[in-house]
Amino acid sequence: MKNYRANMLDLLILVATLFMASCNAEDVIDEVTKIEEPPKEEDPDEESDEVTQPVFLADQDPKPSNTKWVLVEALSDEFDEGNIDLEKWNESPEFLWENANGSFSDRGWYGSTRCLFSAENVSIEEGELRIEAKLYDEPQYSPKDDTSQPAKRWYGGAYVSSKTMGKPGYYFEAEMQSSSTVMSSAFWLKTPPVPCTTTSDGENLELDIQECVGRFLGSKTDDWTKDDWAVNSKWDQIFHFNTHRHSTNCAYNGSRQSKGGHINFDKFNREEYHIYAAWWHEGGNQVDFFIDGRLVKSVTPPVPFTSDQRLIMSSNFYDWVREDARDDMGFNDSKLDRSTKFKWVRTWKLEAED
């Protein structure tokens, strides 16, 4: 019996030795290393949220050599503070102007005929600036309307403008999604509504970076003809950009002059965010329009755009849009869906590299 046990013990030792010899030493080391290895520290640079230049696809950055993009803080906002920054933005369209006699007049624009721009429709929610599109229970008056006449403003929107002026040479961009309604969603610039006699060139200029509607109900077969010009353009699936020269009593008093263009998306504007951008060249003779970091078109404005302009985010009920049932126009949708949404707005200028 003792010999049997001894033989069995020798056999077990031999088997264990052979097993250990067949193991890969690297496998054993790796296994131990994985257990004992301390957690990897995160590289702070990898998680940095700092934005150092505009959004461009490969080979689309137009900056000249030996220059760099620098953020213009006063015309940029990530909308992450919970409230609108009133040091940067006007949430009301009111624009008070002091007349020669010392009195003040409001030269602000409160929306098209059926729309009322109001600060109550502007909010900062979930890191976005939102402009709610609203159908009122009864028509409203603007502060400038003649209240002896019937009110006509059934639709609520807003007009948020910058307190700092945009200038030639600046690059403007915003990540935006339209509302789900027939109202507009727009990102644009405009010369201030001051008397043309007080300006250096007497011009009334407008630079539209993006202008669309959330849904389009018109057709060429209906009895509403004001929107026939827009039917083929698919205004609810569009990147629409423009430069306008408006009539004034100073430099120009003819019909509006425009130069621009558009492309269409596969999806509706209300279904996805896009980054809309424009580079307003020094000298004002060219504006380059970009979508999601890609150049779409370079436009020569009707006249050189040399006047400073305010940056604007707005939602309006255009006079050419057809009214229909509340649900068809999108006004039974949720407040979130009825809102034009801006994730951020950024403005850049070029400076020489250090």
- pLDDT tens-place string over residues 67-80: 999 999 999 999 99
Range with the poorest average pLDDT among 38-52, 65-79, 200-214, 227-241: 38-52
Task: Decide: 328 and 317 in contact? Cβ < 8 Å.
Answer: no
Is 211 a known active-site residue? yes
| pLDDT exceeds cutoff 90 at 320 | yes
Out of 91, 132, 203, 211, the active site residue is 211
Q: How confident is the model at residue 10 (pLDDT cuts 50, 70, 90)?
A: low
The confidence score (pLDDT) of residue 354 equals 84
Is 206 a known active-site residue? yes
Q: What percentage of the chain reaches a pLDDT higher than 70?
A: 86
Out of 206, 282, 323, 353, the active site residue is 206
What integer is the mean pLDDT of 105-110? 97
The confidence score (pLDDT) of residue 8 equals 47
Alpha-carbon gap, residue 204 to 138, rounded angstroms: 34
Q: Where are the beta strands (DSSP E) in 1-40?
A: none
Alpha-carbon gap, residue 124 to 27, rounded angstroms: 55
CA nearest 272: which of 185, 157, 155, 333?
185
What integer is the mean pLDDT of 321-340? 97
The confidence score (pLDDT) of residue 82 equals 87
Task: Decide: 317 and 258 in contact? Cβ < 8 Å.
Answer: no
| pLDDT exceeds cutoff 90 at 118 | yes
Answer whether 0.75 is exceeded by the pTM. Answer: yes
> How do 134-140 and 153-166 pair as beta strands?
antiparallel
The confidence score (pLDDT) of residue 37 equals 40
DSSP 69-100: EEE-GGG-B---SSS--TTTEESS---EEE-T
| pLDDT exceeds cutoff 60 at 292 | yes
What integer is the mean pLDDT of 154-177? 98
CA nearest 92: which of 161, 194, 188, 193?
161
Q: Which two tokens stand for residue 203?
A: 């011009």
